[in-house]
Amino acid sequence: MWQSTQYPYSNRETGTIIHINRIGSIFGSGWALKDWQEIIENPDGSVLLLDGDGTQLIFEPPATAGNPYISPSGDFSILLKLSDGTYQRTFKDRAIYSFNANKKLSIIQDRNGNQTRYIYNTSGQLTQIIDPVNLVTSFTYTGSRVTSITNPNNRVTTLTYNPAGDLIRIAHPDTAQINFEYDSNHCMTASTDARGNRGTATYNFAG
């Protein structure tokens, strides 16, 4: 998982700036799952792709419907909107990322056809990740937050939140804990590892 507060998006033609605030993340403000992706459609026809590692990519709309979106500079993937309204992203190594009707990552397929599947409940919450050999990682929720993660060996990691919904503790199966502190804007200001080592962070006006 990673920590960041907002995704800034600047439209090159209109100068519009959009901030996608991750306060509503299933892991608490600013946290997301590595390799997980989501697509957000913008009013101008472009799409914003959010990656769990904090990357954000803007794909400009194709000149003709059904053609690939225009990839940002330095990105060599091909993003298509399929006839059923879902999206598919293909990479140079022939890996394919498929998105569901809610524009959330549903399948990663490698060049050999091996698939990792992302399963959601009816509320759109991620509940399972099933790897190519059918090993399952499960997510349990309390309300809108993930409170435990069970790995394929049935070992459980628990997550604890403060009343503001910020992730304040990760307790690993071996009982080692990592604790986090936040400011009033949900930005992480400090973390303390299992050995008691404490690190701090400060932010400028842009967060």
Non-local (6+) Cβ contacts of 150 within 8 A are 137, 138, 140, 156, 157
Euclidean distance between CA atoms 151 and 129, whole angstroms = 10
| pTM of the shown model | 0.83
Q: What phi and psi values does residue 71 have, to the nearest 5 degrees?
A: -75, 150
Q: What phi and psi values does residue 23 have, to the nearest 5 degrees?
A: -60, -30
Give residue-wise pLDDT tens across range 10-36. 344 334 344 444 556 888 888 888 888
Question: Which residue, among 130, 31, 97, has the nearest Cα to 139 in the 3D structure?
Answer: 130
Non-local (6+) Cβ contacts of 50 within 8 A are 7, 20, 32, 37, 38, 39, 40, 56
pLDDT of residue 20: 45
pLDDT at 88 over 90: yes
Residue with the larger pLDDT of the pair 202 and 138 = 138
Give residue-wise pLDDT tens across range 91-128. 999 999 999 999 999 999 999 999 999 999 999 999 99
33-37, 129-133, 199-203: least confidently modelled range? 199-203
| HSE (side-chain half, CA atoms, 13 Å) at 140 | 11
The structural domains of the chain, with segments of one domain joined by +, span: 2-147
CB 30 within 8 A of CB 187: yes
pLDDT of residue 201: 82
